[in-house]
Amino acid sequence: MPGLLPEPSPAELDFWCQQAEHQQGLAELNAPSPIQFGLECALLSALRPGKPRWDTPFSRGEMGIPIHHLIWMDDCDKMLDAMQRGIDAGFSCLKMKVGALPFDEELELLRHAHAAFPHAELRVDANGAFRPHEALRKLEALASAGVSLIEQPIRPGQRESLAAICRNTPLPIALDEELISTSLENLLDTVRPQALVIKPSLHGGLLAAEKLALMAEERGIRWWVNSALESHVGLTALAEWCAYAAPGTMQGLGKGTLFADDACRSLYLVGCELKMQTN
């Protein structure tokens, strides 16, 4: 989706496909993340033609992957209605985008949601909307409103401020956009976040995601995967990898309903779980 993801031009895509063909693999290819992710998925499919990329209970249709219910930015009444629909559908985790409305309005909405849905987990994603000097005050207010976790409170590239916030935060912080970096090991060691949101199509592909997940586990940092506007082709690959790499973990995958015209529809939603069509 041009303008929403760092999509390559057709010529750039052709170049990297030729490079992969020339060296008969992806070792040391270092293509842009969306291309790397696509080529990895294609080669994994070629290794198991007509079969899932990984043989797991999920790929056999025996179990689903729990996901959260994402609340898109809107006015407060519409966001509350969206939360109610998620609860009615069986979701146990509601994730709300913050930073578009006045903070006091968002805070009041979250307090209302916490009171109305006391058994649901509330997460928020700031997408870097807070300024460093105000972040801790806002995090304290969010924690008091019942929020359990926040993603990317300040914009990327402010590592010293982010490290101080992570040291003093009243609720867990998950890094997202900050992970589009070339020095991830140093980032984890200096910032010490409580969690990571890994997006393989933005963070270097599946192999890079696997390395990042391992680095997180070695440091006692939680991690999960979010999708990034992939079609069913990419979303299915992400779901298969999640079921293999972190079985039973709640993921931030899409519901497979983003595009009206989509190909290879193999996922469907049952309650709060993504399941895979096996026939």
Total structural domains in the chain? 1
The CATH number for 81's domain is 3.20.20.120
CA angle, 14 as apex, 240 and 8 as ends, to 5°? 70
The structure's pTM equals: 0.90
C-alpha closest to that of 33 among 53, 13, 19: 13
CA dist 128 and 194 (Å) reads: 16
Q: Which residues are catalytic?
A: 97, 199
CB burial class (10 A; 0-12, 13-18, 19+) of residue 267? buried
What whole-number distance in Å separates Cα of residue 59 and Cα of residue 178?
31
Residue 262 reports pLDDT greater than 80: no
Q: Given the structure tokens 């924690």, which residue do they identify?
A: 143
- Residue 40, domain member (yes or no): no
Instruction: Reply yes or no on whether the pLDDT at 179 is more than 80.
Output: yes
Within a domain: 36: no
pLDDT in tens, 34-70: 889 999 988 888 888 888 889 999 999 999 999 999 9
Residue 136: predicted pLDDT: 97
84 within some domain:
yes
pLDDT tens digits along 183-218 = 899 999 999 999 999 999 888 899 999 999 999 999
CA dihedral 87, 89, 91, 97 (to 10 degrees): -70
**Looking at residue 50, what is its pLDDT?**
82
Identify whether 52 is part of a domain. no
d(CA 160, CA 152): 14
Write the single-letter amino acid at 155: R
Q: What is the pLDDT of residue 5?
A: 60
Residue 222 lies inside a defined structural domain of this protein: yes
* Residue given tokens 């992806």 in the structure block: 26
Which of the four pLDDT bands, split at 50, 70 and 90, describes residue 257?
Answer: confident
Q: Distance (Å, rounded) from C-alpha 229 to C-alpha 253?
A: 9
Count of beta carbons in the 10 Å neighbourhood of residue 57: 13
Question: Would you say residue 128 lies in a domain?
Answer: yes
Q: Which domain holds residue 217?
A: 65-276
The answer to the question of residue 216 being in a domain is yes
For residue 59, is it within any domain? no
